[in-house]
Amino acid sequence: METNPHPAYTSLVAVGDSFTEGMSDLLPDGTYRGWADLLAGRMAAHSPGFRYANLAVRGKLIGQIVDEQIDVAAAMKADVVTLVGGLNDTLRPKCDMGRVRALLTEAVERLAPSCKQLVLMRSPGRQGPVLERFRPRMEELFACIDSLAERHGALVVDLYGAPSLSDPRMWDVDRLHLTAEGHRRVAEAVWQGLGYEPEDTEWHAPMPLTLPPGWAARRVADVRFARQYLLPWIGRRLTGRSSGDGLPPKRPDLHPYERTAE
């Protein structure tokens, strides 16, 4: 896509799960910022009266996104809609990929006619054994995304293919969510995909090499991860609970963008 310093976009609606809600880009007031907020801030700087809504809620599966967010987003008639969903489904022990593909197709078919530009993504994935275990499902999901984008004129932002975002240093201690720097790079990727003039042409480049942590430090980190994040995550899977149960979207209405405290 050709770049234009000031594309004529006046509104943005973000749809999805924790990735789009902004975990783990934590602000001083305890709320999350994330790539969608960063993107909205940049777009608003070039469009007076720019409006933004973020309907994403952590832990949502693609069926919940379709049921709870898609019609709301479509009704807003925004210039740009971002849809990232389905990855939480692929990480479940029992995942019906046929159902995931069908629901994602339904979401795209309902959103694409409602906006000027629908944005889909190949989600990033950090290096490690967890990704390897679920890689076939993820790649099946991405193939579906590519096909839907081609049929409906959607933009696909390939985060999965960015070496920088597979680096463990771009991921928070929970190993599930990007750091603030990771979110910044995602915002840059979408910004460029929408045709804006690049601010960081190397967002996707591999991170500079550093000495890896020693054996003892890795073991301490593994124990902390298992106790604070992995075991609670497994517990929620076994009981059918979600980290987003009962949580509302942080920006449920398409209102003029206001910068959050940083």
Number of H-type helices and E-type strands within the chain: 10, 6
Which residues, at least 6 apart from 241, have a Cβ–Cβ distance to it below 8 Å?
A: 235
State residue 261's pLDDT score. Answer: 44
Which residues, at least 6 apart from 159, have a Cβ–Cβ distance to it below 8 Å?
A: 121, 122, 123, 124, 165, 186, 189
pLDDT tens by residue, 184-202: 999 999 999 999 999 999 9
Is residue 233 pLDDT above 60, yes or no? no
Is residue 98 pLDDT above 50, yes or no? yes
Q: What is the mean pLDDT of residues 44-52?
A: 95
Is residue 230 pLDDT above 60, yes or no? no
Is residue 262 pLDDT above 50, yes or no? no
State residue 8's pLDDT score. Answer: 87
The single residue listed with the structure tokens 């990771």 is 182
Is residue 3 pLDDT above 90, yes or no? no
Confidence of residue 260 (pLDDT cuts 50, 70, 90): low
Residue length, the chain? 262
State residue 200's pLDDT score. Answer: 96
Residue 154 in contact with residue 148, Cβ under 8 Å? yes
As given in the structure block, the two tokens for residue 122 are 């190949």
Q: Which domains does the chain have, with CATH numbers?
A: 11-256 (3.40.50.1110)
* pLDDT, averaged across the chain: 86
State residue 16's pLDDT score. Answer: 97
Is residue 226 pLDDT above 90, yes or no? no
The helix/strand/coil state of 157 is: strand
248 or 152: whose pLDDT is higher?
A: 152
Is residue 130 pLDDT above 80, yes or no? no
Q: What is the mean pLDDT of residues 228-256?
A: 69
Is residue 153 pLDDT above 60, yes or no? yes
Radius of gyration of the chain (CA): 18
Least trusted range by pLDDT, from 163-177, 214-228, 234-248: 214-228
State residue 207's pLDDT score. Answer: 78
Q: Which residues of 113-147 are buried (b: 16+ CB within 10 A; e: fewer)?
A: ebbebbbbbbbbbbeeeebeebeebbebbbebbee
How far apart CA 51 and CA 79 sit, in angstroms, is 10
How far apart CA 19 and CA 60 sit, in angstroms, is 10
pLDDT tens by residue, 50-91: 999 999 999 999 999 999 999 999 999 999 999 999 999 998
Confidence of residue 229 (pLDDT cuts 50, 70, 90): very low
pLDDT tens by residue, 111-122: 999 999 999 999
User: Over pLDDT 70: what percentage of the chain?
Assistant: 79
39 or 135: whose pLDDT is higher?
A: 39
